[in-house]
Amino acid sequence: MTDIKPSTGSCLCGLVQIEVENMNPNVGACHCGMCRKWGGAPFMEVNCGSKVSFAGEEHITVFSSSNWADRGFCAKCGSHLFYRLKSSQEYMVSVGLFGNDDRLVFDNQVFIDEKPSFYSFSNTTNDMTGAEIFAKFAHTSK
C-alpha cells in the first residue's frame, strides 16, 4: 500500500493545523500504559514520518513522556496531536485529526501484552508485545 500524500488535519478547536508530506495508511493502536493513561484508551495513530509541519505551533504543548519520545497536544482544547520519537523526529499522529478517509486500514496493535481485558477489537491485525517493539526499534531509542 502506498502513502497518502499530502494529508492535512486539525485539532478539535482548529487552532493547530497539521500537514504531512507522506502518511502511512496503516492505522495502529498502542495499548501501553502511558498511551492509555494519556488518552483513557489505546492511542490510535498513523505514522507520518518526519516531514510534518504545523500552523498554530504556538498552541502546541510538548511533554517529554520518556527517554525516547515526546507527546504533543493542543494547549487550548487538549486534543492529542502526536507521539514523536526523539532520535528520529518521526511522528505518530492521532488518526482522528485527519477525519474519515476510506484509504486508512486498521493494521497493527502494539504493546498487546498490556491491553486490558475489558475491550478488544474485532479486526485481524499484526500484533506485537512491548518486548518485540523494543527489540525491533532498539536503534531508535538510544
Residue with cell 499484526: 126
Q: Provide the percentage of residues in the chain whose pLDDT is more than 70.
A: 96
pLDDT of residue 24: 95
* pLDDT surpasses 60 at 128: yes
Q: How far apart are CA 26 and CA 23, in angstroms?
A: 9
pLDDT of residue 138: 65
Domains of the chain: 7-140 (2.170.150.70)
- Coarse DSSP helix, strand, coil percentages of the chain, rounded to the nearest 5 percent: 20, 40, 40
Q: Give the model confidence (pLDDT) of 18-77 as tens digits.
A: 999 999 999 999 999 999 999 999 999 999 999 999 999 999 999 999 998 999 999 999
Mean of per-residue pLDDT scores for the chain: 93
Nearest to 10 by CA among 85, 91, 93: 93
Q: How far apart are CA 3 and CA 1, in angstroms?
A: 7
What residue ranges in the chain does DSSP mark as E strands? 7-10, 17-20, 26-30, 43-49, 52-55, 60-64, 69-74, 80-85, 91-94, 105-110, 126-128
Residue 6 binned pLDDT confidence (cut-offs 50, 70, 90): confident
* pLDDT surpasses 90 at 100: no
* pTM greater than 0.85: yes
* pLDDT surpasses 90 at 134: no
Cell of 107: 493494521
Q: How far apart are CA 7 and CA 93, in angstroms?
A: 11
**Bridge partners (DSSP) listed for residue 110:** 30, 128
